[in-house]
Amino acid sequence: MNHQICEEIERQGVEAVRQLATSKAERRLIEMRAEILADDTNALSLTYSGFCLVALPHREIPAGEKWVRRAHRMQLVVQPGTMQSNGDAIDVGIPYGSRARLILLYLQTKAVQTGQRTVELGRSMNEWLSRMGLSIGGKTYAGIREQANRISACRLSFFWDDEKQGVRGFHHDSIVRSGIQLHRRSPDLAQPSLFEETVELSETFFEALKNHPVPLQEAAVRQISNRSLSLDLYFWLAYRLHTLKKPTPIPYPALFEQFGAGFRSLRNFRDHFKEALGYALAVYPDAKVDIEPGGVRLHPSRPPVESKATATGRLLMAV
């Protein structure tokens, strides 16, 4: 998949380009790219720039362990927390996987859209998750409930190196101030509702988000909504590519350190990385990235959304 595919789809149409595919997987990537190019909703999502550099785990980690990731002079530390259940304190693990990322995207987008730390849940969150391809019921609902509880209970710290001051700054806080508690599914409800009508983001996280938002295409997120590594790579490319001044090589060991937690080896990670990158590039048509024997080469590219100011303006108009 490369930038020329976009031009061929626009010139010949997706059906003609699909005939050139040599595998089912390649045809799927072409279809994803065609759907992104055809999307005219211009719906947006936002995430904090820190989550574009260091991310949550892809899989569940052992109970009680904290999560530590470092990349690009930034470090993320997530500590598990506890929640009350029937009067008892229950240990809750670290949020992980694509569902945790989607819940966080919803909370961040709504907070910036309204300019308020208090975010409405209920039907609005259900509808957004449904647009992302998650039918809120059965095992899917149980999984969303679990990740929401983990997000509510955990505490995170972002550390970063200050090149000018030569010091390290940090903020340490929970992501949300009040917990996201969900009803168990009721037999007489077509869709489960959220127990709390609103949830409040912590002040430090909200301020960091307002000062350093990264706009994303909602249609792109929807296409890769069940692929946590592809989501991380899309966020990363959306943040990095438009700031580059020249082609920049990134070797596989550096990619492994940044994105490879949970993979057995660099070799095992490399194969998964290539597949996940293919999906990320399929939903980011303007991204210019070359896969090389030793890693990838990033090229200066247009961002997936015009600018932060434009994105914020469009979000405010959508309230």
* Three-class secondary structure of residue 71 per DSSP: strand
Task: Dump pLDDT digits (tens) for 40-50.
Answer: 788 899 999 99
Sort strands 198-200 and 248-251 into parallel, antiparallel or unpaired. Answer: unpaired
Burial profile 29-55: b = 16 or more Cβ within 10 angstroms, e = fewer: bbbbbbbbeebeeebbbbbbbbbbbbb
How far is Cα 216 from Cα 275, in angstroms, rounded to an integer? 21
Domain positions in the chain: 1-38, 39-317
Q: Which stretches in the chain have pLDDT values below 70? A: 1-22, 136-137, 162-174, 177-197, 307-319
The one-letter code for the residue type at 229 is: L
- The pLDDT of residue 275 is 92
Strand partners, 120: 198
Task: Dump pLDDT digits (tens) for 100-127.
Answer: 999 999 999 999 999 999 888 777 788 8
pTM beyond 0.75: the answer is: yes
Of 252, 277, 276, 282, which Cα lies nearest the Cα of 266? 252
